Amino acid sequence: MDKGKYSEELNVAVRVVHMACFLCQKVQKGLAFSISDDVVQSKDDDSPVTVADWSVQATVSWMLSENFGGENVSIVAEEDVQTLSKSESAGILDKVISTVNECLAEAPRYGLKGPSVALERSQVLEAISRCNSSGGPVGRHWVLDPVDGTLGFVRRDQYAVALALVDNGEVVVGVLGCPNYPMKEQFNNQNQQNHTMPDIYWTSTGKHEEGCVMYTSRGCGRAWMQPLVDTDKKFEWPNFAREIRVSSIDDPELATICEPVERANTDHSFTAGLASSVGLRKQPLRVYSMVKYAAIACGNAEIFMKFARAGYKEKIWDHAAGVLLVEEAGGVVTDAGGRPLDFSRGVYLEGLDRGIVACSGVKLHDAIIGAVYASWESSNL
């Protein structure tokens, strides 16, 4: 595959995710003072949704349509306008409209063109509802999770903005914005090197302690991390990025494992049993969102396992960007049967065998897959 085939899509996606992270940071600062029905609401399945979720979706949808043509853009995304359109949601809708327009006004700072006039209510709702594609094996589909890990976002913990491009069923672009991910440790990592890529980096100065965007494209065999733009100092656009690479650790006793925080999303006891059987000794890091994939891609963890209970269906927006990042950074991601994840079958990861296993290397991955086969019959999953 031509490594430059998706350069334009990657270029725009990186900039748009930077914008979305800027938006999320502004909303999260407001959460420090007030968590009300005008900021956080519950969807029909009782999961939380915030001003940031809808605002990011509207912003990304509008920017992708402007850059690639609305008639050419298919977007698979998590949020819809049903809850937002209810009469009792008038307050949160007003906040979404103002938040979207504040973010779009910053587009020139990221080398993108924003609207000439502020978007109206109908335009914001249209941008959100435009993200109604069901994906599939044919054509190009953007896959967006506007705020992956909403509970982490509300609790000022880890969360991510995840944007990927699927082309004929294969993830070909992956961008992961992690506004609360610690940066200082990353940039001191001895495995990282300075790299500059054309069209994405402009002259700027300064380094940041926290917050980054990680990205890659299919077939390049490399992935990068960029610090977020510092809004206080009004930097224009970062002029540097660092290549990230998975850890070289393959000794189970030294390996770090990540798993979801919520018990509803995974079976912690089964994961603990697998960890013990393959010789993992460290306590697992329970992390919200796709930041788990980010930690593996940049070498801060070696393993991510997730085994949901029967009946739970994994959505493609929860994995697409993170999976590609880990793979291009040198890692391995499969289902628990050792097969690649299939992003060609719509909104869900249909045909998933038991769970998901992501590792920094083949040796650890093979050990865990073997342990799954050895212990699955005795599990209650």
Q: Identify the active-site residue in 50, 53, 216, 256.
A: 53
What is the distance between the alpha carbons of residues 158 and 176, in angstroms, rounded to a whole number?
Answer: 12
Name 38's Cβ contacts closer than 8 Å, sequence gap at least 6. 91, 92, 95
Query: Would you call 59 a catalytic residue per the annotation?
Result: no
Amino acid at 360: S
150: buried, middle or exposed (CB in 10 Å: 19+, 13-18, 0-12)?
buried
Q: Identify the active-site residue in 150, 256, 266, 334.
A: 150
Name 95's Cβ contacts closer than 8 Å, sequence gap at least 6. 38, 39, 51
CB 244 within 8 A of CB 192: yes
Angle ∠(113,182,157) on CA atoms, nearest 5: 85
Query: Would you call 53 a catalytic residue per the annotation?
Result: yes
Amino acid at 62: W
Closest C-alpha among 271, 267, 276 to residue 381: 267
Closest C-alpha among 345, 354, 329, 295 to residue 143: 345
Pairing type for strands 140-148 and 75-77 reads parallel
Task: Give catalytic residue positions.
Answer: 53, 150
